[in-house]
Amino acid sequence: MLPSILDLDIKGIEDIVSEQGYERYRAKQVIEWIYKKGKLDFDGMSNLPAELREFLSCNFSILPFEIIQSYKSEDTVKFLFRTDDDMIFESVVIFHPDRGILCLSTQIGCPVRCRFCASGENFYRNLRYEEIIGQYIFARNYIKRDIRGIVFMGMGEPLLNEESLYRTIDVLTEIIGISPRHITVSTSGIPKGILNIARRNPKVRLALSLWTPEEEEREKLVPVSKIYPLSEVIESLRRYVEITKNRVSIEYTLLKGINDGIGDVHKLISLFRDMPVFFNVILYNPKDEDTKIYQTSVEEALRFVDLLKRSGKEAHLRVSKGGKISGACGQLRAVYERSK
């Protein structure tokens, strides 16, 4: 596979075209074709000289991966990609009436290894910047419409791949033109990363994926909790709010008999009593047949949400889209891996 031109910034492309005897402004034209128009081949860049197009086609690819499959349902489309080192990862576009939202992966597998998450069954490596932004370029070309919302909620822990994460955010906001208010980074709770994003990208939204408000139970469900205890995570969230003035979204996935009781509601209320948060309560999408027993019913979930609301907190029951194509939260790549 040829090296991806996505790895080059505008100065790098300027140097390349200049070495070939062309004006440096041609680099900006290449950038516009790729990032703003979603062009996936150099031949179609009609305002470039034919010889330059041929040179770029012979020496660079645009995407740093190949598309293996796409899966569609009424409100989602999922893409399965293969990297140049034969690794598999996915991303998902979620359609809403007024917009499309792209769920980006930042790692292949996930080192956090949450017990009930299919993405964490294995961890291979971080995705490079060009592999992350490439998901956007491909998705925009595929769906033939603008994507105005980005959530880093696919495979991996974004705050354990900060260099590539921040470079991607910079391009999304500064070159592509997506508002940072329409970008959300989800984390399992990496205190240093939470503080870093508060200082570096204060307008970007933050979501905490919280399986339980109980520290001992959290250590069973999320092994990384032994390194990053909940008390440290909460303190970093307080600092995040102080720095950014943003509220934090709490992504709380219900597990029947584990974290969906009245006692759990009271602990959540106590934990976030003086912090501006919004609770996204999520119905669990089983990663396999054995975990179906942990699904909380919609009626029980609504009662859970109602109790949170009665405390004065904003809360909403979110039904993850894409379950029919294994594209909902926690199911990425699982079907493909098990079929090998």
Catalytic residues: 90, 329
Distance CA 198, CA 149 (A): 19
Instruction: Give the phi and the psi of residue 137 in degrees, each rounded to 5.
Output: -60, -45
Angle between helices 191-200 and 162-171 (to 10 degrees): 30
What is the rounded distance in angstroms from the CA atom of residue 59 to the CA atom of residue 269?
Answer: 57
Helix (H) or strand (E) holding 125: strand 123-126
Helix (H) or strand (E) holding 13: helix 10-19
User: 124, 121, 126: which is closest to 107 by C-alpha?
Assistant: 126
Main-chain phi, psi angles of 150, to 5 degrees? -125, 130
Look-up of token digits 């790895």: 7
Distances (CA, A) of 154 to 32, 117, 158, 187, 330: 26, 11, 9, 11, 8
CB 154 within 8 A of CB 109: no
Query: Could you tell me which of 146, 51, 75, 49 has the C-alpha nearest to residue 325?
Result: 75
- Find all residues with CB under 8 Å of 195, minimum gap 6, and list them: 236, 239, 240, 243
Half-sphere exposure of 300 (CA within 13 A, CB side): 16
92, 275, 280 from 89: Cα distances, Å: 11, 35, 25
Are the C-beta atoms of residues 67 and 138 closer than 8 Å to each other? yes
Instruction: Provide the 10 A C-beta neighbour count for residue 321.
Output: 20
